[in-house]
Amino acid sequence: MIELCLLGATGSIGGQVLDLIREKRDVYRLAAFSFGHNINKALEIVEEFEPDLVCAIEEFDANVIKEKFPKVKVTFGNKGLQQVATHDCLCPKVINSLVGAVGLLPTLSAIEVGRDVYLANKETLVIGGEIVMAKAKEMGVKIIPIDSEHSAIFQLLNGNNIDDVKRIIITASGGSFRDKTRDELENVTKEDALNHPNWSMGSKITIDSATMMNKGFELIEAHYLFDLPMDKIDYIMHKESIIHSFVEFLDGSVFAQMATSDMRLPIKYALEYPSHSYTELVERLDLVKVGTLHFEELSVNRFPMLGYAIEAIKRGNIYPTILNAANEVAVGLFLKDKIKFLDIENIVKEALDNPIYEKFTSGDLTIPKIMSVDELVRIQILTKYR
């Protein structure tokens, strides 16, 4: 029996992990999980899966769980997330599907006790990739991607020599506004932005897809996951989301991983690597039905956030943290109807160009430095827009 420690059980990825557990209850057990603010969904999960440990973000919600399920161990907050990641159980697998910088410390906690991490939390590698990958190497553990694009690359590289890779090409659907001009983005609404044409995702990731920050984060993730320089990582618009990534080799061969748009496939592959065992959950790809696949240039002029992400990783050190913190706050403000869609770009750009953060760029990147800058960026932006 494989026991899963699931960070972010009530989100989109978490819900699809639960689908896989339901399909193979003789293989998987939910031993521990965390949740954000969806207490009703969390109560349903506890009722159905009977975990040992539950972590809430808020203490009030933790007390609700504790009162209704007195036999379940309950914790809360950031310390609780780390307890989920290190929960003592047999054959543990840690799945991090949290959204935001909050995912970094639980990932490190899991690594420090010698556990592989099945990663859907982009921000872990965006802000702490240098530290996380070094610690994983030191502890002899794996960081296995759950993102569809990185799972595709992971599958395509399996059995191939990384030195033979000319470049990897990450595909992008283009998000909710892929067919709109810059002028047409002036007055788009939150509801418009949340209407993704291909994927069903959480609100924050859907907005990141619309701005293309999501793709920028994925470039940074790929840099760390596959230990490739940024000049070997490319991107292309592919509206159908059928091909999830390409790998081009030195001899001119180009491999592509194709599948329907269903996150349960990369989650399943990560958990069962290197097996491609049968599942009834994922719809089979019918290329005749699809008919045609389209590819277009992905322009940083049309999607400036992609360029900001590339700029941040090239600057290195603390700049990816600034990028992420500014983006998290800006997306939150947009979702609360406090700013317009294009203001997200402006806030991120202003943060990257703010000279106040230059004093943090000297010396090695450390967790305390990341946490300090992350907090400072958030305070600076929220003070301006409160």
The model's pLDDT over 101-160, given as tens digits with 9 standing for 90+, comes to 999 999 999 999 999 999 999 999 999 999 999 999 999 999 999 999 999 999 999 989
Long-range contacts (CB closer than 8 Å, 24 or more residues apart) made by 109-116: 109/82, 109/85, 110/5, 110/85, 110/86, 111/135, 111/136, 111/139, 111/141, 112/139, 113/86, 114/139, 114/140, 114/141, 115/85, 115/86, 115/141, 116/141, 116/142, 116/143, 116/144
Residues ≥6 apart with Cβ < 8 Å to 122: 147, 214, 217, 218, 221
Identify whether the C-beta of residue 20 lies closer than 8 Å to the C-beta of residue 44.
Answer: no
Q: Residue 103 has what DSSP assignment?
A: G
**Separation of alpha carbons 329 and 100, rounded Å:** 10
Over range 56-82, report the average pLDDT: 97
CA 179 to chain centre: 25
pLDDT at residue 199 in the model: 65
Q: Which of 189-193, 257-261, 264-268 bottoms out in mean pLDDT, i.e. has the lowest? A: 189-193
Over range 156-180, report the average pLDDT: 94
Over range 28-34, report the average pLDDT: 98
pLDDT at residue 286 in the model: 97
**Separation of alpha carbons 87 and 4, rounded Å:** 10
Strand 117-119 relative to strand 2-7, pairing? unpaired
Over range 154-175, report the average pLDDT: 95
Second CATH level (architecture) for the domain 2-145? 3-Layer(aba) Sandwich (3.40)
Domain spans, the chain: 2-145, 150-290, 316-385
pLDDT digits (tens, 9 = 90+) for 92-101: 999 999 999 9
Fold observed for domain 316-385? Rna Polymerase Sigma Factor; Chain: A (1.10.1740)
**Separation of alpha carbons 377 and 354, rounded Å:** 10
Over range 298-310, report the average pLDDT: 95
pLDDT at residue 201 in the model: 73
Supply the mean pLDDT for the chain: 95
**Separation of alpha carbons 299 and 304, rounded Å:** 8
Q: Residue 161 has what DSSP assignment?
A: -
Over range 60-64, report the average pLDDT: 97
Nearest 5°: the CA angle 57, 60, 61 is 60
Q: Which of 61-65, 201-205, 253-257 bottoms out in mean pLDDT, i.e. has the lowest? A: 201-205
Structure tokens at 48: 């159905």
